[in-house]
Amino acid sequence: MFQSTAAKKAIKTLPRARRFSTTPAPAAISPYRKHSPQTQAQQQQKPARRNVSDTATRSAQAATAASPQRAVPSPAFNRDEKIRDVQPLQPFRQPEMDHSFVGMTGGEIFHEMMLRHGVKHVFGYPGGAILPVFDAIYNSDKFNFILPRHEQGAGHMAEGYARASGKPGVVVVTSGPGATNTITPMQDALMDGTPMVVFSGQVVTSAIGSDAFQEADTVGISRACTKWNVMVKNVAELPRRINEAFEIATSGRPGPVLVDLPKDVTGGKLNRPIPMASTLPTHPSAATMAARELSLKQLDGSIRRSANLINIAKKPVIYAGQGVLGHPDGPKLLKELSEKSQIPVTTTLQGLGGFDELDPKALHMLGMHGSAYANMAMQEADLIIALGGRFDDRITGAVARFAPQARLAASEGRGGIVHFDIMPKNINKVVQATEAVEGDVTANLALLMPHIESRTEADRKSWFDQIAAWKERFPWAYEKEDGPDGKIKPQTVITTLSDMTADRKEDTIIATGVGQHQMWAAQHFRWRTPRSMITSGGLGTMGYGLPAAIGAKVAQPDKLVIDIDGDASFLMTQTELGTAAEFNIGVKVIVLNNEEQGMVTQWQSLFYNDRFAHTHQRNPDFVKLAEAMYVPARRTTKLATLKDDLDWLIRGSGDGPAFLEVVVDQKVPVLPMVPGGSALHEFLVYDEAKEKARRQKTRERSGR
């Protein structure tokens, strides 16, 4: 047999390789193996084997025995020679399984999860990708489904529902344009802290990314306008994702979330049980509770320091935002703090109703179109106590010149700005807080109250005397009508409505669109109860009023719900009047018709020399429009008939929806006003002579 050169070399080296034993040294054997009876028995049963290295091995062992041994093994093998108490492995514990969903489709699981979360009303619009869900809720008598005329309307209805009830509004729409039409309501809800859960249909998972019909990257598109969003990729995870959606929408600062539902997920069946923990509404974990305990300990110092600043302040003011309304006890604690320490209170647009405006300590709304005396108080106060407000630009005016006296007091250790807010990112974002109290405003107010010292009216006499002087100097003034047949002023409509509902403020909810009418409502309606003002604040969404009022009426069917709207804002979502008629949702609508985009024309008049670029539109006959949607309607053109027509709307129009058009004067400004770039105290107020001169100049320039 012939052998290759490589093979011959391998044969020659074989004897040398045998000199190296593969038997491990005794020190290298694990102590568990050394003392294992089974291992020793196995070794005794093995026959002895001899090889050419045995003699060398015995010689090496003899040499090792003759040399001194280390008392402690080397660090590389530093092991205890005794058998350790090894804990046995715990048997794997199977999680408790929920069999209740087995055999259900994703749509049927959706229906069941809505019931588990106590959902009573759903707003939405069907489409191909979401049909399995709609089929599952077909003829369901467990909750009411409100079908709007547009998905944006569904979103705003859900917002109004949430604002009036404190519960998350639920929206169900289809894929593509159905989902994208909810983007504006979600952004609106995000900015105003409104809890909302949106379920959007999606194409089947196998078609995602193929530009299928009505496909859109809904998760990507909605990421910036939601607190959280997710696509459900398997029917087994649907209950868990729905639980997460409701938990996130309502925890912390509330907001919108979106759950994207591919059609094969909602149409597919669940064939196996799933863990019980994923199907039950979530509760705070032990880690969450421990974190809360730690947070409370850290809060104690902030609470005590804040209380000390309040107790030593001479001219404090409370600035209350929507955060006060997050819990029913919030307004009660606000009133208690104001009473105990004798502190005046001003509110933001979204905080209206959090403090009774008939209270002598009420300063009403502050900011760009707030009361002049509230703005003056903010500028002169040595301590500002911000409760659930975020110091947005409409509140502060020019930030560099905001609250000069409070900043001075902070530098001297006798005042400053104390900021209570649930969102850490809002603290020190716009103004530097002297003391920050993070967490739920209501809970932290409860912790604060025991540390607050009582004050009497006499203790604050000089401060309230100054405020009274500002109130007398800067009242809510506006141009009045020229007799009973003169053109109606929009402020008069709001004042009259407020007076006519004075005996039922607790049972009245006002929703508004966005524009001048929104500010007039905020200024001239007297707000006395929480959750009575529903409006778009941060985003300023025109068209918000009517659908939000519908949602509020669905949430509070026994209350009087009125939408105060402007003609331009109303036209953006006027089709939802048909929704109110179809479902007999008894909203009452007031449209202040001045045939212009009033807030924009005000700025064009004041800062652009009356160049009214595209801010006047030709309106339809609103009465005929309402009647075409089966809604009874009236029109008011004179002051003499205003009260009678308002009385018809409130009391005489029945339980269903009703519509009142009030033709009001044009080119009426919203005053007071802090112009852009001005400090909070640099406001414009109504002056009769100046206003007449301005109106005359406008007519000369524009012919209007």
Mean pLDDT lowest among 88-92, 204-208, 362-366, 671-675: 88-92
Closest CA to 198 of 185, 188, 211, 207: 185
- 61: number of Cβ within 10 Å: 12
Chain centroid to CA 589: 27
Structural element, H or E, at residue 33: helix 31-34
**pLDDT value at 116 more than 80:** yes
pLDDT of 54 above 80:
no
Asked whether 31 and 81 are in contact (CB, 8 A), the reply is yes
Judge whether 332 counts as a catalytic residue.
Answer: no
Q: Is 599 among the residues known to form the active site?
A: yes
Least confident of 20-24, 266-270, 659-663: 20-24
pTM: 0.85
Mean pLDDT score, 561-584: 98
Same domain, 317 and 358: yes
pLDDT for residue 28? 40
Of residues 120, 143, 214, 215, which has the active-site annotation? 214
Which pLDDT tens digit goes with each residue over 502-513? 999 999 999 999
Shared domain for 181 and 261, answered yes or no, is yes
CATH, residue 399: 3.40.50.1220
Q: Tell me, yes or no, whether 302 and 329 share the same domain.
A: yes
Burial (CB count within 10 angstroms: exposed 0-12, middle 13-18, buried 19+), residue 411: exposed
- Asked whether residue 478 is assigned to any structural domain, the reply reads no
pLDDT value at 41 more than 70: no
Active-site residue identified among 599, 602, 604, 612: 599
Do 358 and 241 belong together in one domain?
no
Spatial contact of 583 and 146, defined as CB atoms under 8 Å apart: yes
> What average pLDDT does the segment 309-326 reach?
97
Q: Which long-range contacts (CB under 8 A, 24 or more apart) does 12-17 make?
A: 15/52
Q: What is the pLDDT of residues 152-196, one digit of tens each?
A: 999 999 999 999 999 999 999 999 999 999 999 999 999 999 999
Assess whether 274 and 300 both reside in one domain: no
For residue 117, give its domain range: 99-283
Query: 72 or 270: whose pLDDT is higher?
Result: 270
Q: End of a domain among 255, 283, 311? A: 283
Given the residues 3, 42, 213, 432, the one annotated as active site: 213
* Predicted pLDDT at 25: 46
> Which residues, 6+ apart, have CB-to-CB distance to 529 below 8 Å?
353, 356, 505, 506
State the catalytic residue, choosing from 167, 227, 263, 505: 263
What pLDDT is attached to residue 256?
98
In this structure, the answer to whether residues 390 and 301 fall within a common structural domain is yes
Active site residue 214: yes
Same domain, 200 and 265: yes
Flag whether pLDDT at 58 surpasses 80.
Answer: no
CATH of the domain at 124: 3.40.50.970
Same domain, 296 and 335: yes
Structural domain contains residue 208: yes
> Which pLDDT does position 280 carry in this prediction?
73
CA-to-CA dists, residue 581 to 146, 505, 584, 626, angstroms: 12, 25, 5, 10
State the Cα–Cα distance between residues 251 and 241, nearest whole angstrom: 15
* Among 567, 328, 550, CA closest to 443: 328
Domain end, chosen from 446, 473, 500, is at: 473
- Tell me the per-residue pLDDT of 124-163, one tens digit each, with 9 for 90 and over: 999 999 999 999 999 899 989 999 999 999 999 999 999 9
Q: Which of 151, 159, 357, 661 is catalytic?
A: 151
Asked whether the predicted pLDDT for residue 14 surpasses 60, the reply is no
Count structural domains, the chain.
Answer: 3
**In a shared domain, residues 418 and 518:** no
Instruction: State how far the Cα of 158 lies from the Cα of 154, in Å rounded to an integer.
Output: 6
489 is catalytic: no
Q: Taking all residues of the chain, what is their mean pLDDT, rounded to a whole number? A: 89
* 463 vs 318: CA distance, rounded Å: 13
Same domain, 622 and 634: yes
Residue 276: pLDDT band with limits 50, 70, 90: confident
pLDDT at 486: 86
pLDDT value of residue 82? 52
Report the C-alpha gap between 274 and 95 in whole angstroms: 9
Does residue 305 sit in the same domain as residue 258?
Answer: no
Residue 695 in any domain: the answer is no
pLDDT at 65 over 60: no
| pLDDT for residue 345 is more than 70 | yes
Q: Report the pLDDT value the prediction gives residue 704, as an integer from 0 to 100.
A: 84
Query: Which ranges constitute the DSSP H helices of 280-403?
Result: 286-312, 329-341, 372-380, 393-396
pLDDT at 582: 98
On whether residue 166 sits in a domain, the answer given is: yes
pLDDT at 5: 55
Tell me the pLDDT tens digit for each residue of 247-268.
999 999 999 999 999 999 999 9
